[in-house]
A and B are shown apart, each in its own frame.
Chain A
């Protein structure tokens, strides 16, 4: 049986282990670390932006730097910070929640991470080669074409192309994992909501990141090879970009917010000690939101002048989204209703998510009315609206998830006192920063201006907003302090279920063995862990005898393949550089050979190894 086998991975250095790992739990941590770094970077940019806008006619930075900062802030936050943070949680939690040993394609999982990471690195390289992209995160043409934008936009097009490819293949991996790798008895309608939202978000990625890839290819061809897609003189059309971008861009919002909904739907029942209210309705609401998200993109383009019929159709479709979202809101409220509520940090974040998100949703419905949108368009009202969705929705969701799953990930809880300080700082700072921006927008302050004249009634509100931003910054500092403090001081967790929660991930040992479940569990109900605690013997029933466990081998190829793509992308950018030291063709060829060479190398069969039965028994005894 186990001839091909158990020798693997004993003596590996730490660095080599992390570079070659295909374990979904380790990749999750890589995602979280990379996402946090990008998050901090983009957060600092936000602080600089708020310093610049603190007082009228500020000369803290030039308009060019301001443009670069707002572009990078938006781009990094959406593509390189929140997406990987969500992927981190999905990677860690989804296989555990469906009772699987690993994801469907462990190799592709690692590849997805490294490609995303190198894509992000490529984008960030722009600072050292003539400045960051400066056409806004939407990169509207003609502002972003070869005529008007500097080399930064090359980095935008290629960096996002590369990292988007990583995101795409990770999403395919999640979809296949959820559909094919579920434990016996784990039917689709018994899956925890986080798995459902993860599945739906991954499907959205598959259908939204592909048009983005197409759009970025057009932009790249325009900039590097003189394509004429966006030049009206040559028969092109600049509205084309706006359509393609928003066909991707609107689903992107739901790609980020649906998993956050999923986290909330896990945390709220766990700390209300009640099952989720209206599970089926939640699932269908998720699917309906996903469907509608592809039918509403023109609401970002109301003022472009497409015409009244189009605007009306898309306005109506947009308002429809409020219905499934409303279903979700009420279900969370009813889950809390009459529950034994525990307000720790995770629950505070989850509970405060609900009203904050409602505020963002209401302003969304306001914005969906095409006639009034002419007033709101391109003002701070829009900025306030989407920050209520992204911070009030997604960031609070992510924080709730962090505090909730932290003990499973790292073997100790985060400190509650520091956690509550963080929560209140963030909550107050957030509303201070962004609530007032609604009013700023309504009285006419346009977004994306690097300074403004005093005496228009904007001065105090901008100051308040900037102060709020610093309070939020302080909250993130407290979070970092908390992580460091807890790593040293917090009590180690040895029980498998510190929160008395409901879903399958809490049935695993802490720390989780490499193979997750020694025996694949038999699932008998929704909330299987809770069911076994109440109706069963307090542990999961096994679906298979204890036997050798098959595991995939680690591989350095994902890292090398991604490095190849990075080199290829950089070579492409070099085409536009004035005096590249190496001819761009050479760099492109190196990257190309490296990428496809490693692909051919990967075709060598590797069937992984087996952890022998005695080893499994020994590990089970140690952690059990």
Chain B
């Protein structure tokens, strides 16, 4: 039901919302993200409720290293900016720039993911196995779920890039890129809370 879009003058200014499919995808993504908030909140609550239950295992003070977390935060925040710039290029019908920005987003995301894998490997190495304590389980579950979201987002954006590498911006793929970027921002939003609540708050003495 994509009828009645005026395409004679070129790409519409908001290509992601020019068709009814685009509008639907846009709203559907937002509804989904609204639901994701409370799912993450449940894991946050689990972590906050159980984080003192270290059961004699390693404690957060012994484990967390702020420089690594800071590096990860920078990776993810910057990737959020590049996906914003990607969407702005999309609106300008500048496909090459959009492709470049999303590629950078993927690379930064990979950087983040690599750090996270290293972080988990390191914690595991110094004795924080998944079943060591309630703190360990809830920490790995919360941060790991976020990592899984990052991985899914990477797969999503990569698939879109591969699928549309030489195809240009169309009314069919603009909503897809827009939804993917919304999802990517949401991952970033969650990370803001993870570094604040999981790392800083725990180290800051709360």
Contact = CB atoms under 8 A, between A and B. Distances in A.
B130 interface: yes
A235 B52 contact: yes
B14 interface: no
B87 to A, nearest CB: 19
A210 B135 CA distance: 22
B185 to A, nearest CB: 18
> Lowest 4 CB-CB distances: which A-B pairs, in order?
A235-B53, A235-B134, A214-B42, A210-B39
Interface stretch (B20-28, B61-69, B88-96, B110-118): B20-28
A105 B54 CA distance: 46
Given A104-B28, A206-B32, A209-B35, 5 more contacts: A105-B28, A176-B31, A214-B42, A221-B141, A244-B42
B196 interface: no
Interface stretch (B43-51, B77-85, B101-109, B119-127): B43-51
Contacts of A227: 130-131, 137, 141
Interface in B116-172: 130-138, 141, 145, 155, 159-160, 163, 172
Contacts of A207: 34-35, 38
A168 B35 contact: yes
B5 interface: no
B155 A236 contact: no
A446 to B, nearest CB: 30
B6 interface: no
Given A104-B28, A228-B131, A236 B50 contact: yes
Given A234-B55, A603-B160, A228 B38 contact: no
Given A104-B28, A176-B27, A233-B55, A596 B155 contact: yes
Contacts, number: 119
A231 B27 contact: no
A377 to B, nearest CB: 24
B137 A215 contact: no
Interface string A164-208: 000010001101100111000000000000000000000000110
Contacts of A215: 42
A321 interface: no
B2 A607 contact: yes
Given A105-B28, A207-B38, A235 B130 contact: no
Nearest to B54: A235
A17 to B, nearest CB: 22
A305 B75 CA distance: 45
23 contacts: A101-B1, A104-B24, A104-B28, A172-B31, A175-B28, A206-B32, A207-B35, A210-B42, A221-B141, A226-B130, A228-B134, A229-B50, A229-B137, A229-B138, A235-B52, A235-B54, A235-B133, A235-B134, A237-B53, A240-B46, A244-B42, A550-B2, A603-B163
B34 A179 contact: no
A434 B35 CA distance: 36
B3 A550 contact: yes
A213 B145 CA distance: 12
Contacts of A173: 28
Contacts of A231: 134
A94 to B, nearest CB: 15
A234 B155 CA distance: 36
A400 interface: no
B133 A234 contact: yes
B193 to A, nearest CB: 15
Given A234-B134, A235-B55, A237-B53, A603 B159 contact: yes
A229 B2 contact: no
A210 B55 contact: no
Given A180-B24, A550-B3, A228 B34 contact: no
A240 B50 contact: yes
Contact of A105 (B24, B35, B55, B130): B24
B136 A228 contact: yes
Contacts of B160: 603
B24 to A, nearest CB: 4
A578 B23 CA distance: 50
A236 B134 contact: yes
B46 A218 contact: yes
Nearest to A241: B46
Contacts of A101: 1
A605 B173 CA distance: 9
Contacts of A69: none
Contact of A213 (B27, B39, B133, B176): B39
Contacts of B34: 206-207
Contact of B28 (A172, A209, A218, A600): A172
Contacts of B39: 210-211, 213-214
B71 to A, nearest CB: 28
B141 A210 contact: no
Contact of B172 (A211, A240, A600, A607): A607
A210 B136 CA distance: 23
A510 B69 CA distance: 63
Most buried by B among A101, A218, A234: A234
A596 to B, nearest CB: 7
Contact of B49 (A180, A237, A600): A237
Nearest to A548: B3
A14 B51 CA distance: 56
A122 B71 CA distance: 43
A225 interface: yes
Contacts of A181: 20, 24
Interface in A30-46: none
Contacts of A180: 20, 23-24, 27
Most buried by A among B41, B43, B55, B134: B134
A240 B52 CA distance: 14
B5 to A, nearest CB: 13
Most buried by B among A180, A214, A227, A231: A214
Contacts of B49: 237, 240
Contact of B159 (A206, A600, A607): A600
A225 B130 contact: yes
Given A168-B35, A206-B34, A235 B42 contact: no
A206 B31 contact: yes
A428 interface: no
Most buried by B among A231, A235, A607: A235
Nearest to B43: A214
Contacts of B52: 235
B116 to A, nearest CB: 18
